Amino acid sequence: MPRSAAEAEPRQLFDPDNFTPVTLGPAWQRDPEHPTGWSMPEYTLGWHVLSWADRYLQHGDRTPWRYTPEQTRLTLWWFAVDAAGEWLWDWGVVQRLKGWGKDPLLATWSAVEFVGPSRIDPAGRTVRDPWGNEHPAGIPHPEAWVQIAAVSLQQTKNTMRLFPSLFNARAKEEFQLDIGKEIIYAHKGAQMIEAVTSSPATLEGARATFVGKNETQHWLGNNSGHDMADVIGRNADKSAGGDARHVSITNAYEPSEDSVAQQEREAWESIEAGTSRASRIMYDSLEAPPEAPLSAEAAPAVLTAIRGDSTWLNVPRLVRSIMNPRTPPSQSRRWWYNQIVAAEDAWIVPQDFDLCAHPDRVVDARDEIVLFFDGSKSDDATALVGCRVDDEHVITLGMWQRPPGKRGETWTAPRDQIDSRVDDVFERYNVVAFWGDPSHTRDDESQERYWDALFDDWHRRYGDRLELWAVSGKDGHAVMWDMADQKRVAQFTAAAERVAAEIEDRTLSHDGDPRLRIHVRNARRYPNKYGVSLWKGHRESARKIDLAVCAVGAKMLARLVKNNPNRKRKRTGKVW
């Protein structure tokens, strides 16, 4: 059975002297041609922002503000623009371990949006970076309205309390700052920063020019966090010129809570997986690799890497926190390793599944494979997954779902496109079995009619070349394997348990497709009278698991083919 999140300790050998952290975001991209070795934006207001911060902002000891190299790259990328002067990013997320310095970074960006060079100078002025490249100069927004948003007043204080000491004496005099606990004015009220909490109705229609969303791992459905995030997004979308933006700061979230931090991470992952047409999200995170153990031997090196440039974090003290038996391992992984660990009811541990990825294992035309198909008319995704018979390596072959932003609109799975893809797969690979679930339901006869004709066509088209039919006998069917049948529920449940055990043992092999990873991570444990299967948590869940279902089905079918006593065996050796 899969382990709980608290028991999910990777057993793979880990070398603390030689490992690679998980890095997400443009600030971590390397460029060997650049003098710094890092990729830098071609155009950015960030260089002007850095010089402005040096002049007007300060640390607590009143020394001029200096970003760490990591924060410098983040700032340059967050304020990056294209050749036309449009923002590269409409919104962003910075995910880091506790104590990294997310609030000070957000405070400095908010200060820039408040009275700093936050918009391109229409006069065309430029500044130069240290290597002589020209970048646009900025001007302050004349009516800047900056909001520090959180679901509790205490969370807004984490950022708001920094402003009195962040602005130096020159800034306070030049910008005529009036600094209060929950609101700050500049130039006699022309510009302001305010703290806002869980009141979506009062936020609706607000013309904020920038919103900093604080600790979004705590923004939940039951504390108006979801509603606040929706309102902030709508307000930014309809802002004048579309130049208002928002950024979230967060720790690694708890997957069982469905927080805004989780929704934003999943939105970004959908873009990376190619299942969303949205773009312009800057997601930046530095995380421990999946195989990193919570051990006294490994933790110092892991923490040193994951804290990045935050050298003020005391590694020995964090190690003691991790080793404290009262600290749940799942909490240590979220807080100090910045890892998103499995929900308590997760079907499998995502880190285990990640370690089963073998994209280098290529399936070629001579290999025997099986296919499993899961059809849905409109709500769930329709998926096609293959499995090589020899080593049971799983490959993702197709996935179709309602396009983003089309929820509530009429959409049906494109049967012609799906049929064409199945044809392509049969032409490319040596397919020896092909089963599919047409998602028959008692409540929706149209669902049954939607797939039956295509399944019958596949039966007639491919039946002669398939070794194992879904339904044997005179009235059998080569493809249609209806999972509503109780005998098949038992068969599938047993297969799901085998796959979960293989993922836990790291003996499963898959192609690493990001869409498959999302669906496997979404899957929840589903105990039934036959054992533990998987499902999406509840019928109305928007999270898809269809590729995970097909992976289990394909693994099951590959095993059945190999164990088939009537199977045609490959001849070996030479004939004389």
- The domain of 414 spans 350-563
Q: Are 541 and 381 in contact (CB under 8 A)?
A: no
CATH code at position 439: 3.30.420.240
Q: Which of 301, 325, 344 is the last residue of a domain?
A: 344
Examine residue 97 and state whether it is found in any structural domain, yes or no: yes
pLDDT, position 278: 72
pLDDT band at residue 92 using 50, 70 and 90 as cut-offs:
very high
pLDDT band at residue 199 using 50, 70 and 90 as cut-offs:
confident
pLDDT, position 127: 98
Instruction: Give every CB contact of residue 371 below 8 A, 6+ residues apart in sequence.
Output: 384, 385, 386, 397, 422, 425, 431, 433, 434, 435, 436, 554, 557
pLDDT, position 513: 96
pLDDT, position 408: 54
Examine residue 576 and state whether it is found in any structural domain, yes or no: no
Give the least confident one: 9-23, 59-73, 516-530: 9-23
Which of 133, 143, 137, 142 shows the shortest CA–CA distance to 122? 137
**What is the rounded average pLDDT for all residues in the chain?**
91
In whole angstroms, what is the distance from residue 313 CA to residue 307 CA? 7
More confident call, 6 vs 295: 295
pLDDT, position 170: 97
Tell me, yes or no, whether 338 and 364 share the same domain: no
- Note the helical H segments in 34-187: 46-56, 69-78, 102-115, 153-160, 163-166, 169-174
- Note the helical H segments in 61-152: 69-78, 102-115
Tell me, yes or no, whether 308 and 382 share the same domain: no
Which of 81, 2, 88, 79 shows the shortest CA–CA distance to 47? 79
Global pTM value: 0.83
- For β-strands 524-528 and 531-535, DSSP reports them as antiparallel
In whole angstroms, what is the distance from residue 497 CA to residue 185 CA? 60
CATH code at position 159: 3.40.50.300
Q: Are 448 and 466 in contact (CB under 8 A)?
A: no
Inter-helix orientation angle 69-78/102-115, to 10°: 40
In whole angstroms, what is the distance from residue 100 CA to residue 299 CA? 17
List, as own/partner pairs, every contact residues 119-123 make where C-beta atoms lie below 8 angstroms and the sequence separation is at least 24, other chains included. 119/243, 120/45, 120/81, 120/85
Map tokens 């510009």 to a residue.
Answer: 191
Tell me, yes or no, whether 268 and 131 share the same domain: yes
Tell me, yes or no, whether 323 and 221 share the same domain: no
pLDDT band at residue 573 using 50, 70 and 90 as cut-offs:
very low
pLDDT at 571 over 50: no
Tell me, yes or no, whether 461 and 335 share the same domain: no
* pLDDT single digits (tens) 253-292: 998 899 999 999 999 998 888 887 777 899 999 999 999 9
Give the least confident one: 72-76, 250-254, 439-443: 439-443
How is residue 128 written in tokens? 């130069």
In whole angstroms, what is the distance from residue 497 CA to residue 534 CA? 9
Give the least confident one: 126-140, 173-187, 213-227, 440-454: 440-454
Tell me, yes or no, whether 194 and 47 share the same domain: yes
Tell me, yes or no, whether 503 and 451 share the same domain: yes
The predicted model gives 214-218 an average pLDDT of 97
Sign of the alpha-carbon dihedral angle for 189, 193, 194, 197: positive
The predicted model gives 102-121 an average pLDDT of 98
pLDDT over 90 percentage in the chain: 78
pLDDT at 2 over 60: no
Tell me, yes or no, whether 403 and 452 share the same domain: yes
pLDDT, position 238: 86
pLDDT at 95 over 90: yes
* pLDDT single digits (tens) 472-529: 888 899 999 999 889 999 999 999 999 999 999 999 999 999 999 999 999 999 999 9
Tell me, yes or no, whether 246 and 298 share the same domain: no
pLDDT band at residue 37 using 50, 70 and 90 as cut-offs:
very high
Q: Which contiguous run of DSSP H or E holds residue 533?
A: strand 531-535
Q: Which of 287, 309, 326 is the last residue of a domain?
A: 287
pLDDT, position 540: 65
Examine residue 569 and state whether it is found in any structural domain, yes or no: no
Q: Are 480 and 459 in contact (CB under 8 A)?
A: yes
pLDDT over 70 percentage in the chain: 93
The length of the chain, given as a count of residues: 576
List the end-to-end C-alpha distance of the chain, in Å, as a whole number.
Answer: 51
Examine residue 71 and state whether it is found in any structural domain, yes or no: yes
The predicted model gives 564-573 an average pLDDT of 63
In whole angstroms, what is the distance from residue 187 CA to residue 190 CA? 5
pLDDT, position 8: 42
* pLDDT single digits (tens) 364-380: 998 999 999 999 998 88
Count of domains for the chain: 3
* pLDDT single digits (tens) 445-456: 444 578 999 999
Examine residue 571 and state whether it is found in any structural domain, yes or no: no
Q: Which of 262, 287, 312 is the last residue of a domain?
A: 287
Give the least confident one: 355-369, 402-416, 522-536: 402-416
pLDDT, position 5: 37
Phi, psi of 146 (to 5 degrees): -100, 135
Tell me, yes or no, whether 369 and 325 share the same domain: no
Examine residue 146 and state whether it is found in any structural domain, yes or no: yes
Tell me, yes or no, whether 223 and 300 share the same domain: no
Check residue 363 and report its DSSP letter: -
Examine residue 198 and state whether it is found in any structural domain, yes or no: yes
Examine residue 570 and state whether it is found in any structural domain, yes or no: no
Tell me, yes or no, whether 29 and 80 share the same domain: yes
pLDDT at 430 over 60: yes
In whole angstroms, what is the distance from residue 258 CA to residue 3 CA? 21
In whole angstroms, what is the distance from residue 102 CA to residue 106 CA? 6
pLDDT, position 184: 97
The predicted model gives 34-63 an average pLDDT of 97
